[in-house]
């Protein structure tokens, strides 16, 4: 594509090394935001990352043959230099143009919220597939389409990668794309120029304050999906919002988003609501009222909070005017989500689950669901990630202390922090709710009194917690879910909560 075509997507502050004569516009064979990936004749866009600044690597990009660079500061170089106000916005716009605006012809469903994005995405995928559509998914666990599965290093890819994936999906005859949209992606303009048909809001609670600094900043990022993204591009007149109005923030989005909204929740003032429901360790059963009528459903998903995810998915089905039988079929055939309330089969009589719950809200939801259903005691094995939101550590500790009979406090992904310092911060909250401190040796014979124990080695903690359980007890291993690794220092080591739990249960 000619550079002049790409430049039509922005208004530069200045351009040097080229008179912007379209007749003399160079051909751009590729776009890059990592200098080490630059190919000869490519365009390098210098963006500021969380750990590094692309402006520091402009010389590397030029040495690799970049014919033009986009920057936020003046650069003197023997190449075309395009200075702009915000290189991230420009990267998103140019990437969309470079791949011929793939989101314009795809049906895009974007899901944002603190918790429930992945489960809701799986449900929507199942409903759309039941309708006969060819569906692609971009999310926390992976991105996938047409039977192909790819690892995804972040919930929402960088804008250039996102547009490339959408282009690939379109070429493979995908019709609908279900996409998890993180607060980072919204704040860093990754989904700009990704024109959506439906935006979904699941809920809002504390997370990512290491990045957003406070809840106000976090909320500003989340609401951008509805205040800006859905209101721009060729779909802005027909874009819809599906809002979980059980959450007060969902109600506030009704005012922020001026388009058509499909409200979901428990109260009668919602377009889509549950009439009756029952949840136990076998799943959720109930009836849902929609503008098209009422239908009964049975889902293997566990926990009342998953009913909200189901209602959001139904909202998307209604937004696309799908028959109720199709929506019902999609809900009931979605069996499980990897690492989300995932049951570890065993013959010991113990109920063992692995869940991704890594926020105070998510941990409370899962433990509250277990507490309402469990017949025996509840044991929770959990930690908190290093180099992440520190304020949530005592909150999660307090939640576990209140809702568990035994809290086993361990490491999650400590990264560069000392595991015992993270655990100390968790215990500040745990001790508010639960004063009795067990030693590891105390639990060899089980336990009777409500309490907590510290075991920084996650493998040993899983062994300790499951071994301390007796038949009829419920054990939750929380925080990592589907992840098959642990980040310790600068090392990524192989580790899967599910496999470790299976090993314990087989012995």
CATH of the domain at 39: 3.40.1390.10
Neighbouring CB atoms inside 10 A of 505's CB total 17
Q: Alpha-carbon torsion 327, 332, 336, 341, what sign?
A: positive
The verdict on 257 and 315 lying in the same domain is: yes
446: domain CATH number is 3.90.190.20
Calculate the average pLDDT of the chain: 95
Closest among 134, 154, 128, 125 to 142, alpha carbons compared: 154
Which residues neighbour 471 within 8 Å (Cβ) at sequence distance 6 or greater?
348, 349, 350, 376
Alpha helices in 183-235 (DSSP H): 183-187, 209-212, 215-227
The verdict on 92 and 116 lying in the same domain is: no
Tell me the three state secondary structure of residue 399: helix
Q: Is the pLDDT of residue 281 over 90?
A: no
Q: Is the pLDDT of residue 335 over 90?
A: no
% of the chain with per-residue pLDDT over 70: 100
The residue ranking higher by pLDDT, 281 or 133, is 133
The verdict on 276 and 353 lying in the same domain is: no
Backbone angles phi, psi at 32, to 5 degrees: -140, 150
The verdict on 298 and 435 lying in the same domain is: no
**pLDDT, mean of residues 406-427:** 97
Q: Is the pLDDT of residue 185 over 90?
A: yes
The verdict on 122 and 252 lying in the same domain is: yes
Q: How far apart are CA 212 and CA 186, in angstroms?
A: 12
Q: How far apart are CA 382 and CA 384, in angstroms?
A: 7
Question: What is residue 478's predicted lDDT score, i.e. its pLDDT?
Answer: 98
Asked whether 314 and 288 are in contact (CB, 8 A), the reply is yes
CA distances from 20 to 17, 31, 66, 480 (A): 9, 19, 17, 51
Neighbouring CB atoms inside 10 A of 332's CB total 16
| CA count, 13 A, side-chain hemisphere, 333 | 14
Q: Alpha-carbon torsion 335, 341, 344, 345, what sign?
A: negative
Asked whether 80 and 17 are in contact (CB, 8 A), the reply is yes
Question: What is residue 213's predicted lDDT score, i.e. its pLDDT?
Answer: 84
The verdict on 89 and 109 lying in the same domain is: no
The verdict on 252 and 133 lying in the same domain is: yes
Position 147 confidence tier, pLDDT thresholds 50, 70, 90: very high
Domain boundary among 333, 353, 381: 333
Q: Is the pLDDT of residue 387 over 90?
A: yes
The verdict on 350 and 467 lying in the same domain is: yes
Backbone angles phi, psi at 156, to 5 degrees: -120, 115
Q: Is the pLDDT of residue 499 over 90?
A: yes
Backbone angles phi, psi at 265, to 5 degrees: 160, -170
The verdict on 482 and 498 lying in the same domain is: yes
If you count DSSP H runs as helices and E runs as strands, how many of each does the chain have, helices first? 16, 25
The verdict on 223 and 124 lying in the same domain is: yes
**pLDDT, mean of residues 124-133:** 98
Closest among 370, 362, 371, 316 to 116, alpha carbons compared: 362
Position 445 confidence tier, pLDDT thresholds 50, 70, 90: confident
Q: How far apart are CA 363 and CA 280, in angstroms?
A: 18
DSSP letter assigned to residue 445: G
Q: Is the pLDDT of residue 249 over 90?
A: yes
Q: How far apart are CA 490 and CA 477, in angstroms?
A: 24
Q: Which domain holds residue 15?
A: 3-98
Q: Is the pLDDT of residue 491 over 90?
A: yes
Q: How far apart are CA 38 and CA 55, in angstroms?
A: 14
Q: How far apart are CA 404 and CA 477, in angstroms?
A: 12
The verdict on 346 and 313 lying in the same domain is: no
The verdict on 30 and 65 lying in the same domain is: yes
Closest among 427, 416, 404 to 478, alpha carbons compared: 404
DSSP letter assigned to residue 2: B
What angle in degrees, to the nearest 10, is found between the helix axes of 159-171 and 87-98? 10
| 57-102 residue pLDDT tens | 999 999 999 999 999 999 888 889 999 999 999 999 999 999 999 9
Domain boundary among 98, 120, 138: 98
* Count of domains forming the chain: 3
Domain boundary among 333, 364, 385: 333
| 2-28 residue pLDDT tens | 999 999 999 999 999 998 888 889 999
Which residues pair with residue 83 across a beta bridge? Answer: 14, 71
Position 206 confidence tier, pLDDT thresholds 50, 70, 90: confident
| Core vs surface per residue 392-429: b (16+ CB within 10 A) or e | bbbbbbbbbbbbbbbbbbbbbbbbebebeebbebbbeb
Q: Is the pLDDT of residue 155 over 90?
A: no
Q: Is the pLDDT of residue 119 over 90?
A: yes
Q: What is the dihedral of CA 275, 279, 285, 291, to 10 degrees?
A: 30
DSSP letter assigned to residue 48: B
Question: What is residue 50's predicted lDDT score, i.e. its pLDDT?
Answer: 82
**pLDDT, mean of residues 355-374:** 93
Q: How far apart are CA 16 and CA 75, in angstroms?
A: 9
Q: Alpha-carbon torsion 227, 233, 235, 237, what sign?
A: positive
Position 208 confidence tier, pLDDT thresholds 50, 70, 90: confident
Q: What's the pTM?
A: 0.92
Closest among 73, 102, 72 to 86, alpha carbons compared: 72
Closest among 439, 386, 395 to 414, alpha carbons compared: 386
């Amino acid at each position: 594509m000619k550079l002049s075509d790409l430049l039509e997507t922005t208004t530069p502050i200045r351009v040097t090394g080229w008179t912007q004569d379209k007749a003399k516009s160079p051909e751009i064979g590729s776009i890059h935001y990592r200098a080490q990936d630059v190919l000869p004749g490519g365009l390098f866009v210098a963006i500021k990352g969380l750990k590094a600044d692309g402006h520091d690597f402009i010389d590397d990009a030029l040495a690799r043959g970049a014919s033009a660079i986009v920057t936020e500061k003046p650069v003197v170089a023997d190449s075309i230099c395009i200075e702009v106000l915000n290189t991230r916005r420009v990267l998103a716009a140019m990437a969309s143009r470079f791949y011929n605006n793939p989101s314009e012809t795809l049906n895009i469903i974007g899901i944002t919220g603190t918790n429930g994005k992945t489960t809701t995405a799986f449900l929507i995928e199942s409903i759309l597939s039941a309708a006969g559509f060819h569906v692609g998914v971009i999310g926390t666990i992976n991105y996938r389409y047409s039977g192909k599965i790819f690892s995804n290093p972040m919930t929402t890819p960088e804008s250039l990668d996102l547009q490339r994936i959408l282009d690939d999906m379109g070429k493979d005859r995908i019709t609908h794309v279900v996409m998890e949209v993180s607060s980072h992606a919204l704040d860093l303009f990754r989904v700009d120029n990704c024109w959506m048909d439906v935006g979904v809001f699941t809920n809002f609670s504390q997370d990512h304050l290491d990045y957003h600094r406070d809840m106000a900043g976090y909320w500003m990022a989340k609401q951008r999906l509805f205040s800006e993204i859905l209101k721009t591009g060729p779909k802005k007149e027909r874009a819809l919002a599906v809002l979980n109005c059980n959450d007060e923030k969902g109600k506030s989005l009704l005012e922020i988003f001026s388009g058509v909204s499909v409200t979901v929740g428990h109260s009668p003032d919602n377009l889509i609501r549950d009439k009756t429901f029952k949840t136990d360790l076998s799943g959720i059963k109930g009836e849902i009222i929609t503008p098209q009528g009422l239908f009964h459903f049975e889902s293997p998903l566990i926990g009342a909070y998953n009913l909200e995810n189901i209602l959001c998915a139904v909202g998307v089905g209604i937004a696309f005017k799908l028959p109720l039988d199709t929506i019902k079929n999609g809900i009931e055939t979605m069996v499980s989500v990897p690492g989300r309330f995932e049951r570890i089969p065993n013959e010991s009589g113990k109920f063992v689950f692995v869940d991704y719950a890594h926020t105070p809200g998510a941990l409370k939801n899962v433990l509250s669901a277990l507490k309402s259903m469990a017949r025996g005691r509840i044991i929770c094995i959990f930690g908190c990630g290093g180099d992440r939101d520190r304020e949530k550590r005592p909150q999660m500790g307090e939640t576990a202390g209140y809702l568990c009979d035994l809290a086993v406090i361990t490491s999650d992904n400590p990264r560069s922090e000392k595991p015992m310092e993270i655990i100390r911060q968790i215990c500040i909250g745990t001790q508010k709710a639960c004063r009795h401190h067990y030693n590891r040796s105390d639990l060899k014979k089980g336990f009777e009194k409500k309490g907590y124990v510290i075991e920084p080695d996650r493998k040993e903690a899983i062994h300790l917690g499951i071994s301390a359980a007796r038949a009829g007890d419920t054990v939750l291993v929380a925080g990592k879910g589907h992840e098959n690794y642990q980040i310790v220092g600068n090392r990524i080591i192989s580790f899967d909560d599910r496999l470790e739990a299976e090993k314990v249960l087989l012995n």
